[in-house]
Amino acid sequence: MNSLTLIFTFFIVAAFTNATPSLVSRSQLQMNQYSMLNHTQQQINETELVRGSGSCNYKIDIKTSCSSPEHTTDTIDIIIGDANGNQIISSPDPSMRGSSLKRCTTNPFDLVQANCIGKICSMFFVRFGTDDWIPESATLYNDGYPPITSNFNYLIPFGVPSGIYNCNK
């Protein structure tokens, strides 16, 4: 009888010991699957943004230096990019020529609607003209990401991209 009680006790302990870890394991497995599913969905969303699905609006505030000429007729192009090498090249709009870039002023511009790229980490100006326009700073706004600001306060060379590159993969 003592042996029977010992065997019966052993089976009860073994049953409860096996039951508890399997419940925890299933719960942990479900949590891991949920976490993996969320991570996969996030990667899909980021890939769709980088592939250019849809279009995004980009806005930029350009402050012209007080050392710049009173006004400029220079044409300014902007190149923005993400860490994956995706770039958008744009002129903010036709009004960015002439009197809109006056000395000591900040002007907001909408860049052309463009394919969505990832988080902006590079911003360059390219200047064409002879007025020697000098930007003081520029702040770029991209929906879903913090703004990126670049301080210049120097003459942008003619036809040469000049700006910041803070892209780390």
Q: Is residue 73 scored above 80 in pLDDT?
A: yes
Same domain, 47 and 76: no
Task: Check which CATH number belongs to the domain holding 160 and give it.
Answer: 2.60.60.20
Q: Is residue 83 scored above 70 in pLDDT?
A: yes
Same domain, 27 and 97: no
Same domain, 28 and 90: no
pTM of the model: 0.63
Predicted local confidence at residue 2, as pLDDT: 57
> Which tokens hold the place of 30?
């479900």
Q: Which of 12-26, 79-93, 149-163 has the lowest mean pLDDT?
A: 12-26
Q: Is residue 34 scored above 50 in pLDDT?
A: no
Name the domain count of the chain.
2
DSSP-derived 3-state class of residue 140: strand
Rounded Cα–Cα distance for residues 46 and 84 (Å): 11
Q: With bands split at pLDDT 50, 70 and 90, how would you rate the model's confidence at 99?
A: low
Residue-wise burial string across 131-143, b where 16 or more C-beta atoms lie within 10 A, e elsewhere: eebbbbebbbbbe
End of a domain among 15, 31, 51? 51
**Pairwise pLDDT comparison (93 vs 89), residue with the higher score:** 89
Same domain, 4 and 35: yes
Rounded Cα–Cα distance for residues 100 and 95 (Å): 6
Same domain, 33 and 83: no
End of a domain among 51, 75, 90? 51
Measured in residues, the chain has a length of 169
CA angle 94, 146, 161 (to 5 degrees): 45
The domain containing residue 159 runs over which residues?
55-165
Same domain, 12 and 79: no
* Nearest-10 Cα torsion for 91, 94, 99, 104: -30
Considering Cα of 87, then 93, then 97, then 100, what sign does the dihedral take? negative
